[in-house]
Structure 1
Amino acid sequence: MVDIKPHIRTFLADALEELGFVTRSCGRLADVASALDDFDPALIVLGHLAPESEVTKTLHLLVSASFRGRVMLFGGRAATSLIALHELGEQSGLAMLPPLGTPYRDSDLHQNLSPFLPIPASPSMVVDVEEAMRNGWLEMWYQPKIDLREMLPCGAEALIRMRHPTWGIVPPAAFVPKYDDPNLRELSEFVVKRVMQDWTFFAQGRPPLDMTINVPSALLVDRGFVDRLCLQLPDCAAFSSLFVEINSVDVCRDHAVVREAARRLEHYNIGISVGDVMAESSWIDVADFPIAEMQIDGDFINGCADDRAKRAACEMAIEIAKKLQAKTLAKNLERTADCRAACQMDFDAGQGFLFAKPMEANRLVRTMLRRRSAATE
């Protein structure tokens, strides 16, 4: 990704990463030469550098370096120079993709990059998680949580993803093992280790950030796993709370085991976050359960601004959470009206596409800093 303007490079890099690309940004011709020496890119996205002669020099550099990847120019739709530079690239023997006129739509970018986009995965596809761990295909992505009183980032949920060489970004449903699979423990250990590393990165010079990880309740039976989790916690005042998310069904089913583990975890400032909470769930059994956070299911959040029954269910769950002295999280927020309703009902935090999609660690940091900066202006 080559352009003289940093914000343009960041914007396009984010768009490319969402499509599964691993990106590197350059702002000068010298940076392009260095990048070509360091690795062999499959695609170079080249913006209108100023002056225009820099674009010509970059194209000549690619020719002299015998670049065998593809090149895509982008710039104003009305710029005649965009077409002229594209023709220059073709005449020079470079593999040129159609120019990307700005402003552009997502469909334009998809169409231009179709030769690179992975084959869509079959819904029934199952990927061997052991193979994925062995080949380094697994990544941790993060979805921000927003404090609904201050409208500032207050935490993030860690979500595992796979970057498959054929299918691109693969969601966890296609590869996370079942409870009886021996690879589940190894995968969970991987998640804990990677999240702790990223959490250390997030905390450098930034406000404290709550972190949520998903752990199967079956592993909480293992005192060794719980002890290793506690020992990996960063020992620094800059780190806020860690939440271990467990599905509400598992809490009710494995009540005694999870409660015992929760009692041990709270001594290390690790709380249990109960996910997929339904108003009709039997919470009478968890009246003495040390819950730190209740995540109200998106089925109740979506449309709560207009649906009295959903709103009543949310209010009931919030009342239970207050009795348990637990925080409340409104999941899957997608509409501004539902966000306003969640604020009125006194939810502590919200999460969903209204604020941000799951993203890689570097992008999460940029997103949080951008939101905090906007709030202080």
Structure 2
Amino acid sequence: MKAVLIDDDPEVCHLLQVQLQHIGVEARAVTTISDMLDAVRRENPDIVFVDLSLGDADGIDVFHMLRDLRFMGPIIIVSGHPEMVLRHAKDIALRMGLDAKATLRKPFKLQDLRRVLNEATNVTSTIARVNKPSPDATLREALQKDWINFWFQPQVDLKTGLIVGAECLARIRHPSDGLVFPGQFLPTADDDDLHELTIRAADAAAKAASLDLRDGVPLRFSINVSTHSMKQPGLIFQLKRMCAVSALDLTLEITESDRGDSSVCRAFATRAVLHGFKISIDDFGSGYATFERLRHTPFSELKLDRSVVNGCSGDRALRNICVATIQLAHGFNAHAVAEGVETPEDAATLAEIGCDVAQGYFYAPALPLDEFAAYVRFPKKILPRGNS
């Protein structure tokens, strides 16, 4: 494994390099952003360590540069700042489409370094490191050339430990750029292409449902629906026909980007419920989903954003936010679903405080259909349960 690490303190930089080499990682240490850029271009590292405080620059600047370099390997964020600062930095990197896997707080010991390196490599071993596509790799091109794949991230009932469903997530399988993730192609997609993506996602979910992976016990599948798709008068009936053919139990997620037109969301959600669908409010806690939306939307599921889930076991403020959100969901007779669960400690905390369902790398990343089917039939024995 090859690593590039940047820290403006030469002594810390050298120490981290020596420790990485001690545990078998080939490490290139640099103290300036220009040298870091050169090292990433030349070395093509498997992993990058980024210190947040870099003199006249900072780690956020480095995130932007790594994104521009199309680096999609794991990133470990290093800093002497409080855990909350590291967590916010990690969230920023994730929202930029980077693969921020772990944080390492100074001062650290060799066992701390081993731990975060293990976190990063354990997750990335299940999915290949990929490069970001060229700007020409648009969603429209992918739809036209049939490069779209749909992967499924398992959702686990925290009381029983059983897999109860999955979120259907789009990927582009680009012939030269490899696997392309939603954060890389959705921001530039136009409305018509997003609508076509919604239809294809539902079709993929229907195919997965038809496999009868739990021997007669149906799984619930969820897809994201764009605002433009909500405006299409025939969408609900088209989805209804798909569900009837495959016995698909489909949940429709209203994403944070739909916040700008609440009347459209409200009308769509109401009609969808009248025709037997379930509505999920996505990314609650990210700052975009509002109480006004909750009051006027007939939802049956509230999804806790990863920014409040990640680290909730060790952060009292995050735990309190999760508790309040779960109670809020239950007050509306809805289920609380936690996204971005990455550690057994967070999973156990969520189960303890009454969260209903969870998804995240702790259980499994999003998987191609054949791997998802195998996972459902033979799930890993790591599913935590609450004390209640």
Band of TM-score, shorter chain: 0.5 to 0.7
Indicate which of 117, 127, 135 corresponds to 2:137. 127
Aligned to 1:308: 316
Give the alignment's TM-score, normalised by structure 2.
0.61
Which letter does structure 1 place at the counterpart of 2:268?
A
Q: Deviations over 1:167-223 (max 9, x none)?
A: 111112232364644322222222222222222124573421010001112311221
Q: In the alignment, residue 131 of structure 2 is paired with which amino acid?
A: P
Q: 1:133/1:282 Cα in 2 relative to 1: closer, same or farther (>3 Å)?
A: closer
Q: Residue 307 and residue 126 in structure 1: after superposition, are their counterparts in 2 closer, same or farther (change >3 A)?
A: farther
CA distance in 2 between counterparts of 1:217 and 1:182 reads 11
User: Structure 1 163/285 Cα, relative in aligned 2: closer, same or farther at 3 Å?
Assistant: closer
The match for 1:141 among 151, 165, 175 is 151
CA contact (8 A) 1:300 1:313 kept: yes
Distance 2:201 2:378 in 1: 27
> C-alpha deviations, 1:107-146, integer Å up to 9, x for none?
9x99xxxxxx997335x74512232223221111000000
Normalised TM-score (structure 1): 0.62
Which structure 2 segments of 5+ residues have no match?
Answer: 1-120, 384-388
Which whole-Å CA distance do the structure 2 matches of 1:320 and 1:118 have between them?
38
* Matched residue, 1:259: 266
- Selected match of 1:287 from 280, 295, 310: 295
How far apart in 2 are the matches of 1:164 and 1:183? Answer: 17
Question: Secondary structure of 2:300's partner?
Answer: strand
Of 275, 285, 292, which aligns to 2:282?
Answer: 275
Match of 1:351 among 347, 359, 374: 359
Is contact 1:127-1:174 (8 Å) kept?
A: no
- 1:285 and 1:187 map into 2 onto residues whose CA distance is 25
The answer to whether residue 214 in structure 2 is matched with residue 208 in structure 1 is: no
Output the amino acid matched with 2:158: L
In structure 1, C-alpha distance between the alignment counterparts of 2:382 and 2:193, rounded to whole Å: 43
Asked if 1:246 is matched to 2:254, the reply is yes
Which is higher, the Rg of structure 1 or of structure 2?
1
**Structure 2 match to 1:329:** 337
Q: RMSD of the TM alignment (CA)?
A: 2.9
The 1:194–1:326 alpha-carbon spacing in structure 2 relative to 1, beyond 3 Å, is same
Contact 1:296 1:328 in 2 (8 A): yes
Instruction: Check conservation: 1:295, 1:330, Cα contact below 8 A.
Output: yes
Report sequence identity in percent. Answer: 27
Aligned residue pairs total: 260
**Structure 1 stretches (4+) deviating beyond 6 angstroms?**
372-375
Unaligned runs of 5+ in 1: 1-105, 111-116
1:197 is aligned to: 207
What code does the residue aligned with 2:149 have? E
Q: Which residue of 2 aligns with 1:167?
A: 177
Does the 8 Å CA contact 2:140/2:189 hold for their aligned counterparts?
no
SS at match of 1:359: coil
Q: Which residue of 2 aligns with 1:6?
A: none
- 1:369, distance to aligned residue in structure 2 (A): 1.1
1:221 corresponds in structure 2 to: 231
* CA deviations over 1:37-86 (Å, ceiling 9, x no partner): xxxxxxxxxxxxxxxxxxxxxxxxxxxxxxxxxxxxxxxxxxxxxxxxxx
**Which amino acid is 1:231 matched to?**
R
The letter for the 1-side match of 2:148 is L
